[in-house]
Amino acid sequence: QVQLVQSGAEVKKPGASVKVSCKASGYAFTNYYLHWVRQAPGQGLEWMGVINPRGGSTRYADNFQGRVTMTTDRSTSTVSMELSSLRSDDTAVYYCARDRSPIVVYAIGPCDLWGPGTMVTVSS
Amino acid sequence: AIQLTQSPSSLSASVGDRVTITCRASQGISSALAWYQQKPGESPKLLIYDASSVESGVPSRFSGSGSGTDFTLTISSLQPEDFATYYCQLFNTYPLTFGGGSKVEIK
């Protein structure tokens, strides 16, 4: 069925990097942008950025510029998000989410299909 | 960046009540606004896009309105499964900002 499956929970030390993956199935992977959104415990949603799975072009939120890298692997229908120089306030659930509109529509957002989330804990 | 301000941040309501949540943009965004519902421990669920279009499968008691800077999500008759947190989100403009959320609790 149409779904996004994310990698498992991670525990990292401050200063380390984490890479979260998101595998798409049940739809044409290269036809829809994929976004990354995070949510700190008890807090709201924060948009991190978006990737075009076809060509790999990205757009990152200013808050994460220089620390985040989003990549695509068309052979496995998987996108990944790597966040470096982790701090305690990076502790959050990280979601991947599919754009509602096909890329050809030239719209960006909102998201109609979400992964289950990946908990990333940053602690010494 | 455009900011989205939701109000109220929380509210208490009873089953059957009409509930209205507001989202105000710091500058005009036409109709590029979406609403999500999130229950504890779950991923967000898209309810409304283009300010007033109801996503497929979403009950008809949910509706959205507004354009420019002021938007509203209305639940016409609150049901037990509607107790959740609701977020607005700007789209078609970077960054795709979310509002701070509005938690709907049982009265």
The fraction of chain A above a pLDDT of 90, given in percent, is: 94
pLDDT in tens, B22-67: 999 999 999 999 999 999 999 999 999 999 999 999 999 999 999 9
d(CA A97, CA A33) in angstroms, rounded, equals 9
DSSP state at residue B97: P
Distance of alpha carbon B104 from the chain centroid: 11
Neighbours of A102 (CB within 10 A): 13
Q: How many CB pairs under 8 A join A and B?
A: 62
Disruptive mutation site among A43, A45, A96 for chain B (greatest number of B CBs within 10 Å): A45
Closest of A6, A5, A11 to residue A91, by C-alpha: A11
- Taking CB atoms and an 8 Å limit, are B34 and A59 in contact across chains? no
Rounded mean pLDDT, A18-38 = 98
- The whole-angstrom distance between A10's CA and the closest CA on chain B is 17
Rounded mean pLDDT, B6-35 = 97
Residue A26 pLDDT > 80, yes or no? yes
B87 contact A CB<8A: yes
B73 contact A CB<8A: no
pLDDT at B27: 97
Per the CB < 8 A criterion, the answer to whether A39 and A92 are in contact is yes
User: Nearest residue of A to residue B49 by CA position?
Assistant: A110
pLDDT at A74: 97
- The whole-angstrom distance between B92's CA and the closest CA on chain A is 5
Per the CB < 8 A criterion, the answer to whether B29 and B93 are in contact is yes
Closest of A24, A25, A28 to residue A79, by C-alpha: A24
> How do the residues of chain A divide into helix, strand and coil, expressed in percent and rounded to 5?
10, 50, 40
pLDDT in tens, A58-85: 999 999 999 999 999 999 999 999 999 9
Residue A106 pLDDT > 80, yes or no? no
B94 contact A CB<8A: yes
Residue A112 pLDDT > 80, yes or no? yes
